[in-house]
Structure 1
Amino acid sequence: MTVEQSTNRPPRRRPVHGATIGIIVLDTGFERLPGDVANAMTWRFPVHYHVVTGVRPQDVIEGNPEKALPAFYDAIDRLTELGVDGIATSCGFLAMVHPQLRAYSSVPVASSSLMQIPLVLQTLPVDRTVGVIISDRKSITDQHFLNVGAPVDLPLGELAFDGPIRANMRNNAARVSYAAQERDAFQTVERMLAETPSIGALVSECANLPPYSRAIQRTFGVPVYDVVSLVEWLHAGLRPRNFHSEPLP
């Protein structure tokens, strides 16, 4: 007996089966390496993607993301109509409209990797804090953090404006160098830890940083959380592991 049968809920209409998570992707053209939220090879489970055509990263980061809400609402509708049980996005700055996305959606929404900050803080010794790696310091505001229940006084580390990660994003580079982008991320983390030795864990705002999370953790010895860990956490609740000898439906 399925959960829907046992609770007398009618089964949802699902024209596509087997993918629990839907991911809303901004309109970009740069290469997405494995580990990036918009590279399908990143995931250990199938996902559905929906691109919000015409909504670029700069529209969300530097502009007013509320203007793009109709496009995000349409994406939520299309993904839920396909049958997904949870939705994520591909930019941490969408924390600015998290309350609106959450209010609109009929399924759980993980809009920003910043949502993990309160939980990560609670895991750390009391004399340690969370450092946040961001892609644009001048555009981040207190409201981004408040909207996801995070404190506003955390140490921030900004990726260099002219570094390969941000330059590749701005220029929609069709080919990117993993090694160059990894060095870029390392330099940001090294500066952060030198400035704030009390950092006990890192959260990456930028959804393009997960390809380097493992290398950052191994090099600097601190836990690293990102959009991939957020989506995997969301999926774990929506599809818990099966420990029964007989497979559940």
Structure 2
Amino acid sequence: MERAAVGILMLETNFPRPLGDIGHAHTWDFPVHMRAVGGASAQKVVHQDPRALFDAFVQVGRALVAQGCTGLTTSCGFLSLMQDDLKDALGVPFASSSLMQIPMIEAMLPANQQVGVLTISKESLSAAHLHAAGARDDVPVEGLPRDGAFATAIFEDLPEMDVTACHAEMCEMAQRLVSKHETVGAIVLECTNMAPYAADIAEITGRPVYSIVSFLNWFQAGLAPPRF
């Protein structure tokens, strides 16, 4: 059986996408088709209401389905706000955000543990985003510094990114998350650009780490189950 293609509704960006990022084609060992959604900047989607861009996402999503994609996703975890509306409008399985993994992960953790979230913007990640992803709205959340290397590169859409500084920020904030919340038994990375750092976050915190990569590998496996 030919492996099913996943369509990725990309934000309109220019910042670097290293291996492991959702926007790096070699991150995936299955076919992906990527299309940018006009006007969908990281600033608009994270700091404003992305639902204002609903029609643009529908147009691009339908084009990806016409291209042969049997499942769709997005390149920003904050788009969980449009999960219900977009899945109905697009008519195929739709996975808006890595945050959707939270309920399944918590179902696997011991009763005295919970999921913690590392996000690009703690002040913008609301209870509404979590609820739309099917998660509890009181999960522990830690964010990256707004003026740090990672957030600056993403929100200012810079052509270069200091990967070493980003790595240090990720590890520091992940350690802060588990230090402040000792019950955190697993970490979900909200931002699709955080996945390149997942292995180091897992190593330094001693917790399993789930990202858009873990989510989409699971998602695609159901679209095209292996034949044995």
Q: TM-score, normalised by structure 2?
A: 0.96
Quote the residue 1:108 is aligned against: 93
For residues 89 and 211 of structure 1, what CA distance do their matches in structure 2 show? 17
Quote the residue 2:216 is aligned against: 231
Quote the residue 1:180 is aligned against: 165
- Which has the greater radius of gyration? 1
For residues 226 and 36 of structure 2, what CA distance do their matches in structure 1 show? 29
Q: Secondary structure at the match of 1:175?
A: coil
**1:23-172 alignment, distance < 5 Å:** 23-172=8-157
Q: CA deviation at 1:18?
A: 5.8
For residues 188 and 156 of structure 1, what CA distance do their matches in structure 2 show? 10
For residues 185 and 3 of structure 2, what CA distance do their matches in structure 1 show? 37
For residues 114 and 136 of structure 2, what CA distance do their matches in structure 1 show? 11
For residues 147 and 187 of structure 1, what CA distance do their matches in structure 2 show? 28
For residues 146 and 169 of structure 1, what CA distance do their matches in structure 2 show? 25
Instruction: Give structure 2 stretches of 5+ with no counterpart.
Output: none
For residues 24 and 112 of structure 1, what CA distance do their matches in structure 2 show? 11
Runs (4+) of structure 1 moved beyond 6 Å? none
RMSD: 1.3
For residues 90 and 111 of structure 1, what CA distance do their matches in structure 2 show? 8
Equivalenced residues, count:
228
For residues 216 and 224 of structure 1, what CA distance do their matches in structure 2 show? 7
Cα deviation 1:121-159 (Å, max 9, x = unaligned): 011011011000111122121111111211011110111
Quote the residue 1:246 is aligned against: none
**1:207-246 alignment, distance < 5 Å:** 207-243=192-228
Tell whether the 8 Å contact from 1:19 to 1:48 is kept in structure 2 after alignment: no
**Identity between Structure 1 and Structure 2 (%):** 36
Q: Secondary structure at the match of 1:130?
A: strand
